[in-house]
Structure 1
Amino acid sequence: MESPATALTFRDATDADIDALVELIESAYRGDASRAGWTTEADILEGQRTDPEGVLEVIKSPDSRLLTAEQDGAMVACCQLEHRGEYAYFGMFAVRPTLQGGGVGKAVITEAERQARAIWGVTEMHMTVISVRDDLIAWYERRGYRRTGRMTPFPYGDERFGLPQRDDLQFELLVKPLT
């Protein structure tokens, strides 16, 4: 059987991908469809995870790229890379729920790190994760990211980020040296 890493094709997203990207990101994190995978946030957040305007903003930003991964011609994963000086920010990461746990996510994050080093020459990757997502944080730790204990507040009241189902949400900064 072919491994997910060799079966994936990577490219930068374009305007034509916006609807597919919004559907992919929403399916990985929100609603019943997200429960097919392990990255669901359905129990802590309802509402939207992103919208076409947010995706377009990432695609059009001169310091950002929205990397897509395709398998057999279908978009199966994506992530945002943003150049922020000495480091790159990793976000908007989504893998189709039915493919989670099969190595696609690991292949995408590995490629994102490689591209950030090669294109921008950065020495670190940063990301923020909702601090109560212990399983997700553990997954990133297995890939070399470390918890910093540096927290930023969740944007309560801004429905663009979802409708919180609990009052203790915050983001923790995770960092990985890229060598």
Structure 2
Amino acid sequence: METAETAASAAGLTFRDATDADVDVLVALIESAYRGDASRAGWTTEADILQGQRTDPEGVLEVIKSPDSRLLTVERDGRVVACCQLEHRGDHAYFGMFAVSPRLQGAGLGKVIIAEAERTARETWGVKEMHMTVISVREDLIAWYERRGYRRTGRTSPFPYGDERFGIPQRDDLEFELLVKELG
């Protein structure tokens, strides 16, 4: 059976923790994957439901500096092509800030990266579950996570309307739904 590590190696990916020096590159990557016209090259765009920024240098630096968090940076041929946040939250880990370069989306990198993130969380913190929140109207994205073993919980939390650090909503029905996966 192929492991996340061998799949990552086969895909030519290397994983490392982000450093302060990565902040600008990571902000640009995250923005390109979710906002604006550049994001339309991939399938994870939120450009039709949110405008403005997805994150900022302060938000990325906060994840890098947090003692209970890691910002995995994924490189191919020395270039940053993806990232994801892992945060230790007691009996589970939280997965967030997941971005793959729009030009590389749809080629299978996402499933390799999320498998490596799950392995890392399990081995680093001994957690048995991974949690994440996804904007509930993102049915295509939720379906992708369901194919990776995540299940919808029906538990929602409000979208931070009025806080432009998370974007400018283009509709009034946004909320986050909790997805959970047993890591076993």
Match of 1:43 in 2: 48
Amino acid at match of 2:117: A
The Cα of 1:103 is off from its aligned counterpart by 1.0
Identity of paired residues, percent?
A: 81
CA RMSD of aligned residues (A): 1.2
CA distance in 2, matches of 1:66, 1:10: 10
Match of 1:149 in 2: 154
Q: Deviations over 1:112-159 (max 9, x none)?
A: 000000000000000000000000000000000000000000000000
Match of 2:85 in 1: 80
Q: Which structure 1 residue ranges, 5 or more long, are not aligned?
A: none
Residue 126 (structure 2) pairs with residue 106 (structure 1):
no
TM-score normalised over the length of structure 1: 0.97
Find the partner of 2:139 among 110, 119, 134: 134
Structure 1 segments (4+ residues) deviating >4 Å: 2-5
CA distance in 1, matches of 2:125, 2:26: 24
Find the partner of 1:95 among 94, 100, 113: 100
Find the partner of 1:20 among 15, 21, 25: 25
Is the contact made by 1:45 and 1:162 (CA closer than 8 Å) also made in structure 2?
yes
CA distance in 1, matches of 2:131, 2:8: 27
Aligned length, in residue pairs:
178
Amino acid at match of 1:32: D
Amino acid at match of 2:103: T
Is the contact made by 1:5 and 1:104 (CA closer than 8 Å) also made in structure 2?
no
CA distance in 2, matches of 1:104, 1:173: 23
